[in-house]
A and B are shown apart, each in its own frame.
Chain A
């Protein structure tokens, strides 16, 4: 039998291990990809290399570009794209490099790497074919070398306005900064950083653009460390605009980086944007140097108190439109209502407007999509909400006007905008069928398909239990272990039982209390004899518990014996008193009935106490 037990345990173990060894799920999302706008260019052209990083995980590093043999970087920008579909946000950070070929032939942009938590991810190599150009002006690249920015002059405007000619060494990678924009503190120093907001007195919820401009001497090498400012009291939009360019200011050529961050104040009153810092690396000629911006102070205004009832916090400038896909429908035919809110402002955090459909409509849950982008330093976009409606009765109906309120930062007033009501005619089923029969353009069904008989639809719930989800639940896996616990428990219990059977003393000791309680219960039926019985029951209990006879022991010996077993002195005293009273009662049976009952109760309590101690 021992052999059979071993086999059974081995089988149980094998099944358990098989289940444990099942493969676990490991996600391998694409972290980085790279693409170019074209793969065949001439030496007169430039091309745009976009490195797209899945930005859902903020631990991803900046891309490490390989050595670009035959290509040089002439501009670099960074942007973040965000899409929100049905509440699910996906974002990508795009590093855009404008490259210019320096030689003819087949060129390869090697794998571009990023690291995420120590793991390196590479893009696939990209092959470029470069042919000899005719020396004319470069073709327009998909992304301009210097994206237009508000408040920042273009090369041509500077040339026209100030009559400057580009210094030869700057070529097309630098221009002259507007003297009015050059900070007086710059003064030709190696590094400098400044920050400002476009509106220091915004309303709460109003968009504010924070611009950070960093200057690095073009002749300086090494890695510069930038610590971004803290924006306490603001909701920070994750989409930022970053631009790098070369420029001449205060008599020196600088490499400059501008980062624009979109902020929405969430507090009222004074708010301070803490400084950002820029640190230059140490070298043999100079030590490390850190410069920081001044704190930027804002005075955030509360919104006026006379907000409309349906105002839900929208601040900016918006428009609203509604449309349906058909104005002639029929009972049970689905109609899609599309509501679009467009404009400038906090679209990301906007609550959808609410509308009620009449009882003649069955309305399904609406689904929304938000698309925003930074345009000319303003966050603009659309929020599209789609709702499926199914008319339940025939007739002429009107989809009611949908109202939307926002605070207009231009007029500084609340604005109420609304959609136009939409009339719709719903035909009954019979009308619809007649119509379908008379009109040729019924929904397309392949003629071949109508010849084959497919089984009809099901109109009741079917089987819905998915094993895939069941076995992924920890509770299900734990259920597999439950019988093992029962087996272990039974084994332990049987071992204990066997031990007791082989040791009569231990068995007696274990059952002593139970036996004593039973005897006390029986003694209750004959209260007049309880006095004498209590002493005997107590003596028998202690004898069996200690597995030795205590008959004939003096009180002192009994006391010492119990003390040696670790019993509390008070309990020992009570035991001795109880035994004495019992002995006295045995020879003086005049004690009252109530006293007898009390003795039984006391003895029961003493046994319970002793059971804890022994």
Chain B
């Protein structure tokens, strides 16, 4: 019994310390240049928004994808009256830090100033789950959580199989059952977000106004228009056109590629991205 407990402690340490270290290693990025950030913030505070914007964009182009930089860039866009890019960058900041109150507040403010003033509606159970999760967890946290629950689940299975019948094993049995539900919930939440991000990623209209066409081509223009800051789902690209679903989930159509940018990085769409 004592031997089994020691064995399971060693296996648990190996699994969870290894998991933490592996994720820490996989997530390492370039260090943020705080001095440059401070310079850009000073430029912003003295009203030199264009110059500040250039520095924030340069920091981002150097691989410093940080929620604070996206947020500050969003503020710079907002101050210059570019609601489309402001919403886009607040959304990008929110993807990295969804629980930040400042980001939520400024995103709500920018949306309130946008002509269409709507966020993406849920159009099915998968998107509902993805939207619900994204309000609380970043995709990284989701990935970390689902993998951790998976590790916990398998650890409990290992422990269950290691111990002889008794009180401890009964406790482990109930713990395993509970973890099954947790693993399913975390797995489906993570899977749904990946699925939505890859198949119909969110985008934001960055052109002042764009007319929706029923097919790729100016000659198929309809009477419907979308304004800067409208949040849409992008479905596919064809040539210089992108197929999108409008904010209410029902309106679908085509717009020129250069009028929209994606919130997350999706390589199969030839849309400007971060």
B67: Cβ under 8 A from any A Cβ: yes
Sample (30) of A-B pairs whose CB atoms are under 8 Å apart = A11-B184, A12-B154, A15-B183, A22-B198, A27-B267, A334-B55, A362-B39, A364-B36, A429-B46, A443-B48, A443-B49, A443-B50, A444-B80, A445-B49, A445-B79, A454-B79, A462-B68, A462-B69, A465-B138, A466-B139, A470-B27, A470-B140, A476-B143, A479-B22, A483-B15, A483-B153, A483-B155, A486-B158, A487-B154, A490-B158
Whether A463 contacts B143 by the Cβ 8 Å rule is no
Bound: A384/B3 CA distance, A: 71
Bound: A15/B18 CA distance, A: 21
Interface size class of A (residues with CB under 8 A): 35 or more
Bound: A463/B11 CA distance, A: 31
Name the interface residues of A22-40: CB closer than 8 Å to any CB of B: 22-23, 25-30, 33
Whether A458 contacts B72 by the Cβ 8 Å rule is yes
Q: Separation in Å of the B102 CB from the closest CB of chain A?
A: 4
Q: Which residues of B contact A159 (CB under 8 A)?
A: none
Q: Which of B18, B47, B139, B188 contacts A443 (CB 8 A)?
A: B47
B197: Cβ under 8 A from any A Cβ: yes
Q: Which residues of B contact A454 (CB under 8 A)?
A: 75, 78-79, 105-106, 109
Q: Which of A27, A455, A461 contacts B66 (CB 8 A)?
A: A461
Bound: A470/B194 CA distance, A: 11
A436: Cβ under 8 A from any B Cβ: yes
Knowing A28-B237, A461-B68, A464-B64, the reply to whether A11 touches B138 (Cβ < 8 A) is no
Q: Separation in Å of the B33 CB from the closest CB of chain A?
A: 10
Bound: A483/B12 CA distance, A: 11
Q: Which of A23, A433, A443, A444 contacts B195 (CB 8 A)?
A: A23
Q: Separation in Å of the B16 CB from the closest CB of chain A?
A: 11
Residue of B with least CB distance to A8: B157
Residue of B with least CB distance to A331: B42
Residue of B with least CB distance to A362: B39
Bound: A494/B162 CA distance, A: 8
Q: Separation in Å of the B90 CB from the closest CB of chain A?
A: 10
Q: Which residues of B contact A22 (CB under 8 A)?
A: 191, 194-195, 198
Bound: A460/B66 CA distance, A: 10
Q: Which residues of B contact A429 (CB under 8 A)?
A: 46
Q: Which residues of A contact B180 (CB under 8 A)?
A: 8, 11
Residue of A with least CB distance to B92: A466
Interface size class of B (residues with CB under 8 A): 35 or more
Bound: A445/B49 CA distance, A: 9
Q: Separation in Å of the A490 CB from the closest CB of chain B?
A: 6
Knowing A22-B198, A459-B41, A461-B66, the reply to whether A124 touches B217 (Cβ < 8 A) is yes
Whether B154 contacts A486 by the Cβ 8 Å rule is yes
Bound: A473/B22 CA distance, A: 12
Bound: A496/B95 CA distance, A: 49
Whether B183 contacts A11 by the Cβ 8 Å rule is yes
Q: Separation in Å of the A246 CB from the closest CB of chain B?
A: 35
Bound: A483/B44 CA distance, A: 50
Given known contacts A454-B105, A466-B139, what 7 new A-B pairs fall within 8 Å (CB)?
A: A334-B51, A443-B47, A444-B80, A459-B41, A463-B66, A463-B96, A490-B162
A388: Cβ under 8 A from any B Cβ: yes
B120: Cβ under 8 A from any A Cβ: no
Whether B66 contacts A19 by the Cβ 8 Å rule is no
Name the interface residues of B9-38: CB closer than 8 Å to any CB of A: 11, 15, 18-19, 22-23, 26-27, 29, 32, 34-38
Name the interface residues of A429-455: CB closer than 8 Å to any CB of B: 429, 432-433, 436, 442-446, 449, 452, 454-455
Whether A467 contacts B143 by the Cβ 8 Å rule is yes
Whether A486 contacts B22 by the Cβ 8 Å rule is no
Bound: A27/B100 CA distance, A: 34
Interface residues of A, Cβ cutoff 8 Å to B: 8, 11-12, 15, 18-19, 22-23, 25-30, 33, 124, 332-334, 362, 364-365, 388, 390, 429, 432-433, 436, 442-446, 449, 452, 454-471, 473, 475-476, 479-480, 482-484, 486-487, 490-491, 494
Whether A468 contacts B270 by the Cβ 8 Å rule is no
Residue of B with least CB distance to A460: B68
Bound: A487/B154 CA distance, A: 7
B151: Cβ under 8 A from any A Cβ: yes
B175: Cβ under 8 A from any A Cβ: no
Q: Which of B15, B26, B237 contacts A475 (CB 8 A)?
A: B26
Bound: A33/B240 CA distance, A: 10
Interface residues of B, Cβ cutoff 8 Å to A: 11, 15, 18-19, 22-23, 26-27, 29, 32, 34-39, 41-51, 54-55, 58, 62, 64-69, 71-72, 75, 78-81, 93, 95-97, 100-102, 105-106, 109, 113, 138-143, 147, 150-151, 153-155, 157-158, 161-162, 176, 180, 183-184, 187-188, 191, 193-195, 197-199, 217, 237, 239-240, 264-268, 270
Q: Separation in Å of the A57 CB from the closest CB of chain B?
A: 15
Whether B161 contacts A490 by the Cβ 8 Å rule is yes
Whether B47 contacts A458 by the Cβ 8 Å rule is no
Q: Which residues of B contact A470 (CB under 8 A)?
A: 23, 26-27, 139-140, 143
Q: Separation in Å of the B192 CB from the closest CB of chain A?
A: 10
Whether A457 contacts B46 by the Cβ 8 Å rule is no
Q: Which of B11, B34, B138 contacts A467 (CB 8 A)?
A: B138
Counting chain B CB atoms within 10 Å of each CB, the highest count among A25, A27, A467, A486 belongs to: A467
Whether A471 contacts B158 by the Cβ 8 Å rule is no
Bound: A463/B58 CA distance, A: 18
Bound: A491/B161 CA distance, A: 9
Bound: A445/B58 CA distance, A: 23
Whether B15 contacts A468 by the Cβ 8 Å rule is no
Counting chain A CB atoms within 10 Å of each CB, the highest count among B46, B78, B142 belongs to: B46
Whether B46 contacts A432 by the Cβ 8 Å rule is yes
Bound: A30/B58 CA distance, A: 28
Q: Which of B50, B141, B150 contacts A15 (CB 8 A)?
A: B150
Whether B67 contacts A25 by the Cβ 8 Å rule is no
Whether A332 contacts B42 by the Cβ 8 Å rule is yes
Whether B102 contacts A458 by the Cβ 8 Å rule is yes
Knowing A462-B97, A487-B158, the reply to whether A29 touches B72 (Cβ < 8 A) is no
Whether B81 contacts A449 by the Cβ 8 Å rule is yes
Q: Which residues of A contact B96 (CB under 8 A)?
A: 462-466
Bound: A460/B106 CA distance, A: 18
Whether B22 contacts A18 by the Cβ 8 Å rule is no
Q: Which residues of B contact A467 (CB under 8 A)?
A: 138-143, 193
Q: Which residues of A contact B41 (CB under 8 A)?
A: 457, 459
Bound: A433/B48 CA distance, A: 12
Bound: A443/B34 CA distance, A: 25
Bound: A471/B54 CA distance, A: 30
Q: Which residues of B contact A471 (CB under 8 A)?
A: 139, 143, 194
Q: Which of B43, B45, B75, B187 contacts A334 (CB 8 A)?
A: B43
Q: Separation in Å of the B111 CB from the closest CB of chain A?
A: 12
Q: Which residues of B contact A29 (CB under 8 A)?
A: 270
Bound: A364/B52 CA distance, A: 13
